[in-house]
Amino acid sequence: MSERGMLVSEIVAQLVSDARRQEGLSMDELADRAGVHRTYVGLLERRSRQPTLAVAANLAEALGLSLSELVAEAEQDADDGYAPDVELVPAPPRRQLERAYLGESRHFEAATGLTAATVARAVEIAYRKLDLIDEQMRASGSRPLVELIELPELSALMGNLLSAAVARASNGLYVQNGPDHSPNLLPVRQGLPELEVVTAPETERPAGGMRKAGLHLVLRYVLADRTGAFTRGSRGDMVAVWEIRFGELGDADYTGGARTTNGRARLKREALDRMELVYYDPALLPYARATGAYATYARR
């Protein structure tokens, strides 16, 4: 990050701290509102951690601010009072998951206290953030986000956005852990388990890396066009989640074991297949035809 970028980031953290005090909120209260881990707010305010885009957006929203306002004020302070031009663009339509495609998810609800509808709401929150970013990028003449980053980076971004969104939609049951920390979601209520959120594109299965064994929420996505339509074999410019699964995974469920040093072990197909199907959209299926659980699910 450039020197100016570091300065803007530090000022954003200071503005968040000032706004928190003006609102009369404790760090714990702000963390709960924003769906981040309680220690993370303290690290930001002590300048021990730089806020990611997703975390900054969550903190701004929790304080009743927009991310553009927060960044614009930080840039103004960084430039000794120079106010940058902030162009407002029309908000894109809100995307929603088709509720008819939600599964019963008995094991998921019993284990976590969350429901399939909670996860659907989380996906819609993540969609909103991605679509707002893309709308602003297009308005400035830039290509959409998915054309600027590789799929592994997109999957990592999706994982962070969805972890934050699940925490926000959980009604206080979970908070997001710090970036690059495992597990992704930490329980607030005693008796609930920790939860990993992992993502993968199209027919790929999530990579293992150094994740611990435990309960996992797996989301796979395709790249649809701007209308939300998907054609197998082609890639659009908009993320669309086609499958969500839940279950317990261990080292034996990964090729070569999950605790590899290079992070390239992948979830075995049989391990993915035995996980509970929380959501499945047949219109976005990236396989040539529906087989197994997909065919059964379609006939319900």
| Complete domains list, the chain, with CATH | 3-78 (1.10.260.40), 101-298 (3.40.600.10)
Mean pLDDT, residues 87-116 taken together: 85
Q: pLDDT confidence of 125, banded at 50, 70, 90?
A: confident
Q: Which residue has the higher pLDDT, 161 or 63?
A: 161
Q: Which residue has the higher pLDDT, 34 or 85?
A: 34
Q: What dihedral do alpha carbons 34, 178, 115, 205 form, nearest 10°?
A: 140
φ/ψ (deg, to 5) at 90:
-60, 140
Mean pLDDT, residues 169-188 taken together: 87
CA distances from 278 to 48, 102, 221, 281 (A): 38, 6, 14, 11
Q: How many CA atoms lie within 13 A of 141 on its CB side?
A: 0
Q: Which residue has the higher pLDDT, 262 or 98?
A: 98
Question: What pLDDT was estimated at residue 273?
Answer: 93
Which alpha helices (DSSP H) does 140-281 contain, by range?
Answer: 151-169, 269-274
Q: How many CA atoms lie within 13 A of 144 on its CB side?
A: 17
Other beta carbons less than 10 A from residue 274's beta carbon: 14
| Average predicted confidence (pLDDT) for the chain | 84
12's enclosing H/E stretch is: helix 3-22
pLDDT at 47 over 70: yes
Share of the chain above pLDDT 70, in %: 86
Q: Which residue has the higher pLDDT, 290 or 222?
A: 222
Question: What pLDDT was estimated at residue 80?
Answer: 61
Angle between helices 53-62 and 3-22 (to 10 degrees): 20
Please give the Cα distance from 64 to 77 (Å, whole number): 20
pLDDT at 12 over 60: yes
pLDDT at 10 over 90: no
pLDDT at 76 over 50: yes
Residue of 162, 163, 167, 145 whose CA lies nearest to 154: 145
Q: What DSSP designation does 114 have? A: -
φ/ψ (deg, to 5) at 36:
-120, 165
Q: Which residue has the higher pLDDT, 15 or 118?
A: 118
CA angle 196, 197, 200 (to 5 degrees): 130
Q: pLDDT confidence of 70, banded at 50, 70, 90?
A: confident
Question: What pLDDT was estimated at residue 123?
Answer: 95
Mean pLDDT, residues 120-133 taken together: 88
Q: What DSSP designation does 186 have? A: E
Residue of 72, 85, 54 whose CA lies nearest to 15: 72
Structure tokens at 256: 């070569």
Which alpha helices (DSSP H) does 46-175 contain, by range?
Answer: 53-62, 67-78, 106-112, 116-139, 151-169
Mean pLDDT, residues 54-62 taken together: 81
Q: pLDDT confidence of 87, banded at 50, 70, 90?
A: very low
pLDDT at 165 over 70: yes
Q: pLDDT confidence of 86, banded at 50, 70, 90?
A: very low
Question: What pLDDT was estimated at residue 1?
Answer: 57
pLDDT at 91 over 90: no
pLDDT at 83 over 50: no
Q: What DSSP designation does 140 have? A: T
Question: What pLDDT was estimated at residue 106?
Answer: 94
Q: Are the CB atoms for 177 and 37 separated by under 8 Å?
A: yes
- What's the whole-model pTM score? 0.71
Other beta carbons less than 10 A from residue 188's beta carbon: 15
Residue type, 119: V
Mean pLDDT, residues 62-90 taken together: 65
Question: What pLDDT was estimated at residue 298?
Answer: 53
Q: Which residue has the higher pLDDT, 186 or 69?
A: 186
Q: Kindly tell me the burial class for residue 96, based on how many C-beta atoms sit within 10 Å of its own C-beta (0-12, 13-18, 19 or more).
A: exposed
